[in-house]
Amino acid sequence: MTIHEEYLQKIDKVIEQGPYKDDWDSLAGRMMPTWMREGKLGIFIHWGPYSVPGFGSEWYSRNMYIEGSPEYEHHIQTYGPHKDFGYKDFIPSFKAEQFDPHAWADIFAQSGARYVVPVAEHHDGFQMYKSDISEWNAAEMGPKRDVLGELKNAFEEKGLTLGASSHRVEHWFFMGHGKKFDSDVKEPLERGDFYWPAMSESDHHDLFSEPIPTQEFLEDWLVRCCEIVDRYQPEQFYFDWWIQHSSVKPYLKKFAAYYYNQALQWEKEVTICYKHDAFPFGTATVDIERGKFAEVQPFFWQTDTAIARNSWCWTENNTFKSPESLVRELVDIVSKNGVMLLNVGPKPDGSISAEDQSVLKGIGDWLAVNGEAIYQTSVWRQASEGPAEIPEGQFTDGTDVNYTAEDFSFTCRGKHLYAINMNWPENGEVTIRSLANQVASHLPVFHGIIEDVEIIGYEEVEWSRDEQGLHVRKTGIETKMPIVIKITLD
């Protein structure tokens, strides 16, 4: 019996014995875990052989085989013909000489993050963990280290919750362009080959695009995902978009049932994060890539975005968001019942760039002072007020939102309401109109008693309340970061 056959039998047995079955009704009612709802901020990590060329993006392994693309031309000019130097030939250079999981854990903990989700396997098919399924993994090639395992140990020492991400399903078509010319992606390709199956790529990747993944490929996908679950016990399992394909659905249900049943044995709260409508609503956690909702939602959700605007992995030409803009995004997302998974792309040697570290430090410094307005908070009666226009949907993080001094986001916890000003004015005076003092018959947003008002990190704040709103005055504040007004209610 092969490893795959043994694992498939194990999966069926766990599902048969566990309370969760591989049908959507059985999988319903899955809430975002408490540690995630309260932690609010996580770190995503894209790191692999694609970091070695450091050109274009983490999709280099696909694009380098598309004739005429910038990656194709760059590859020939830099490394030579594809038949002589293909994507697999980057692996020996992926040595990770400076990879220190404890240093990473320190950086992420200081950023204020509460959980970390490394990409265990990207579309390129290289496993960043020790595997019995394939030799094409970081423990046997490249770094020759169990990257995910070492990170798990280091994160646990820092109190960071471990997640894991699999993008394996897109490998069905990811290397297919390499078959169209003389490259190292050559037939015959069989399971166990690095490039297998390298099928042709649909123009749209829709729900029923062809060629449809085979049973052999999908069983291999399922076994790989379950191996990650059993070996590392991640408390979040993140999937990229193509799991929504019609052919994947039966295997997706099997994975979810297996994962949720195994988590019961671990006595851990876990979740699966998905995009679009790959899962029926309520069976896993909604995720929006590089975007968010414009309004508060009645359900918990996650956005995954990146410090770099142009790529998820490290490249020579990354452009970086500022810590100020990312803190504003975090505040806005939390006020709308969401959490943020923020991506970092380490360099091929395993170091984290100075630019990434600077951004993470800026976020961490702000959270060290103002974290009570973020961690363990809930949504208020409304998420925000002000004129800022918030774009909705995925891939809307290309430019910063134009926040003004009139823009506030709200969170609350216990007897405290936090009104977070997104752009403190030079004159030091703001008005929170949602807290206007009106008679109850006018049905204001807020009709309670305000006991005290302060600005976190500052002293001697002046405040008053009338029919126009809650007026707060504090001069001498010079920062581009959001300012947290802490309102104590009686």
Q: How far is the C-alpha of 359 from the C-alpha of 364, rounded, in Å?
A: 9
Residue 378 lies in a domain: no
63 and 133, same domain (yes or no) = yes
213 and 306, same domain (yes or no) = yes
**pLDDT value of residue 437:** 87
8 Å CB contact between 322 and 355: no
Q: What is the pTM of this model?
A: 0.97
Measured distance between the N- and C-terminal CA atoms of the chain, rounded to whole angstroms? 68
We report the CATH number of the domain holding residue 178 as 3.20.20.80
* Polymer length of the chain: 490
Residue 431 lies in a domain: yes
Residue 379 lies in a domain: no
313 and 234, same domain (yes or no) = yes
| % of the chain beyond a pLDDT of 90 | 96
93 and 189, same domain (yes or no) = yes
- Burial status of residue 79 (CB atoms within 10 A of its CB: 0-12, 13-18, 19 or more): middle
Q: How far is the C-alpha of 66 from the C-alpha of 186, rounded, in Å?
A: 15
Question: What residues contact 237, with CB distance under 8 A and at least 6 apart?
Answer: 163, 164, 165, 166, 225, 228, 229, 259, 270, 271, 272, 273
**pLDDT value of residue 243:** 97
Residue 181 lies in a domain: yes
**Looking at the predicted structure, is the pLDDT value of residue 327 above 70?**
yes
**pLDDT value of residue 445:** 82
Q: Where are the alpha helices (DSSP H) in 133-175?
A: 147-157, 171-174
Which of 333, 351, 373 lies at the terminal end of a domain, its last residue? Answer: 373
Which among 299, 155, 170 has a CA at the least distance from the CA of 239? 170
Question: What residues contact 49, with CB distance under 8 A and at least 6 apart?
Answer: 61, 87, 90, 91, 94, 124, 126, 142
Residue type at 382?
Q
Determine the average pLDDT of the residues in 344-366: 98
74-90 pLDDT tens trace:
999 999 999 999 999 99
420-429 pLDDT tens trace:
999 999 999 9
326 and 447, same domain (yes or no) = no
Residue 218 lies in a domain: yes
Which among 117, 128, 232, 226 has a CA at the least distance from the CA of 163? 117
Sheet holding 483-489, edge to edge: 384-385, 408-413, 416-421, 483-489, 450-455
**pLDDT value of residue 340:** 98
7 and 114, same domain (yes or no) = yes
208 and 348, same domain (yes or no) = yes
**pLDDT value of residue 440:** 58
**Looking at the predicted structure, is the pLDDT value of residue 204 above 80?**
no
What is the total count of domains within the chain?
Answer: 2
**pLDDT value of residue 213:** 97
Residue 485 lies in a domain: yes
**Looking at the predicted structure, is the pLDDT value of residue 30 above 80?**
yes
Residue 241: how many CB atoms within 10 A of its CB?
A: 17
142 and 165, same domain (yes or no) = yes
Residue 95: how many CB atoms within 10 A of its CB?
A: 16
Determine the average pLDDT of the residues in 331-354: 98
Domain range for residue 170? 3-373
Confidence of residue 438 (pLDDT cuts 50, 70, 90): confident
Which of 110-119, 205-214, 245-254 has the lowest average pLDDT? Answer: 205-214
363 and 403, same domain (yes or no) = no
Q: Phi and psi dihedrals of 246, rounded to 5?
A: -55, -35
**pLDDT value of residue 205:** 82
**Looking at the predicted structure, is the pLDDT value of residue 396 above 80?**
yes
**Looking at the predicted structure, is the pLDDT value of residue 202 above 90?**
no
**pLDDT value of residue 444:** 72
351 and 402, same domain (yes or no) = no
Which of 319, 349, 373 lies at the terminal end of a domain, its last residue? Answer: 373
**pLDDT value of residue 441:** 58
394 and 298, same domain (yes or no) = no
8 Å CB contact between 266 and 279: no
**Looking at the predicted structure, is the pLDDT value of residue 382 above 70?**
yes
Q: Phi and psi dihedrals of 180, rounded to 5?
A: -85, -5
Chain-wide mean pLDDT for the chain? 97
Residue 221 lies in a domain: yes
Determine the average pLDDT of the residues in 266-275: 98
95 and 161, same domain (yes or no) = yes
We report the CATH number of the domain holding residue 429 as 2.60.40.1180
Q: How far is the C-alpha of 128 from the C-alpha of 231, rounded, in Å?
A: 13
**Looking at the predicted structure, is the pLDDT value of residue 351 above 70?**
yes
**Looking at the predicted structure, is the pLDDT value of residue 443 above 80?**
no
Which of 327, 349, 373 lies at the terminal end of a domain, its last residue? Answer: 373
Q: How far is the C-alpha of 291 from the C-alpha of 270, rounded, in Å?
A: 23
114-152 pLDDT tens trace:
999 999 999 999 999 999 999 999 999 999 999 999 999
Residue 438 lies in a domain: yes
Sole residue written with tokens 């009704």: 25
**Looking at the predicted structure, is the pLDDT value of residue 442 above 70?**
no
